[in-house]
Amino acid sequence: MLNKIVRSNEFVIFVILVVLSLIIGWINPAFYSVATVFDIIRASIVYFIMAYGLLPIIIAGGIDISFVAIAAMSSYTVHMFLIGRGYQGGILIYFILGCLLGALAGLLNGVLVTRFKLPVFDVSLATFTMWYGFTLFFIGATANFDLPPGTVGYYARFLITAQDPNVGTTGLHESFLYVVVLGLFIWWLLKYTTLGRGVYAMGGNREVAIRTGFNVNRIQLVLFIIMGTFSAIAGVTQGFLSRYFNPVLFITQPLDVLAAIILGGAAITGGSGSVIGTTLGVLLIQLINRALILTGIQVEWQRLVLGIILILFTAIPSLRTLRARRLGRVIQS
């Protein structure tokens, strides 16, 4: 059991996180502070939510990039609709209407994939462009900073507060609870439900999954609805954390979320992946970004470093498989 844990991708990422933290703290002691911990968590919140929503689709063997466009469309559309009607209340209605739009957008992806037998990536590329275009053309092309009175101050609602000598009062934002609840939901879905078993079966071998009795079309529809809903939650959350709503929100971020899931051990071809690994993958990317900043390395190097790490983690499973095949041939001979 212990040997299996040590050899797991999640354990490797955990060790990298610890070592990287020690190195950063040695170079810049300011890294060791409560403010840094809360800052990394806050910066990771919306990425956690989007990654959890996308993870089942990746495990099932699909690659989707439209989730960021759904996040932007649903959050910005709801905001402009409510602001235009003089809404004065809190954020709950934002989440309700946003999740409805996100679920419908995800359902559209699912229908196109299942009804017309189209590749997931092709459909997501089309809807990625479509939703951003729809938002810019029909809803608005500029960021909006008007917030309903009932939502003012949301960005500073903390579960825990602490005093830091460098930044003053800091805290763990209440939206971290969304991460916990949604992460536990996806973990339960994948581990303890028939649908979750079907997701892994589809990623392993779609034809075998069909012959086993899984309704793969229904599973895909559910996964896309979950993805759209989670994307909407992420979009609304980001809007209130940043205190403005942007029609092109996250437009450059889909690869960051995909990279986090892959770093967490999910195979790009499907069949493997976990919530714990995805969580560690998101934290690793955020830690790398802050490491480069705190150590004085130019921001332009972030993409290069992340790309190199991604290549290494993508190659590791293939190398392990190749080694296992060679070992099997040696034993047989």
Number of Cβ within 10 Å of residue 299's Cβ equals: 9
Q: Is the pLDDT of residue 7 over 80?
A: no
Residues 74-97 have pLDDT tens digits of 999 999 999 999 999 999 999 999
Residues 179-203 have pLDDT tens digits of 999 999 999 999 999 999 999 999 9
Q: Is the pLDDT of residue 333 over 60?
A: no
**Residue 155: how many CA atoms within 13 Å on its side-chain side?**
11
Q: Greater confidence, 22 or 3?
A: 22
Q: Residue 2: pLDDT band by 50, 70, 90 thresholds?
A: low
Question: Rounded to whole angstroms, how far apart are CA atoms 12 and 114?
Answer: 36
Q: Residue 323: pLDDT band by 50, 70, 90 thresholds?
A: low
Contact present, 235 and 129 (Cβ < 8 Å)? no
What is the model's pLDDT at position 317? Answer: 60
- Per-residue pLDDT, averaged over 100-123, amounts to 97
Which residues make Cβ contacts (< 8 Å) with residue 272, sequence separation at least 6? 59, 200, 203, 265, 266, 317
Q: Is the pLDDT of residue 304 over 80?
A: no
What is the model's pLDDT at position 169? Answer: 74
Question: Rounded to whole angstroms, how far apart are CA atoms 276 and 14?
Answer: 10
Q: For 169, phi and psi rounded to 5 degrees? A: -75, 130
What is the model's pLDDT at position 31? Answer: 80
What is the model's pLDDT at position 13? Answer: 85
Burial of 8: CB neighbours in 10 Å, binned 0-12, 13-18, 19+: middle
Q: Is the pLDDT of residue 48 over 90?
A: yes
- Per-residue pLDDT, averaged over 30-39, amounts to 83
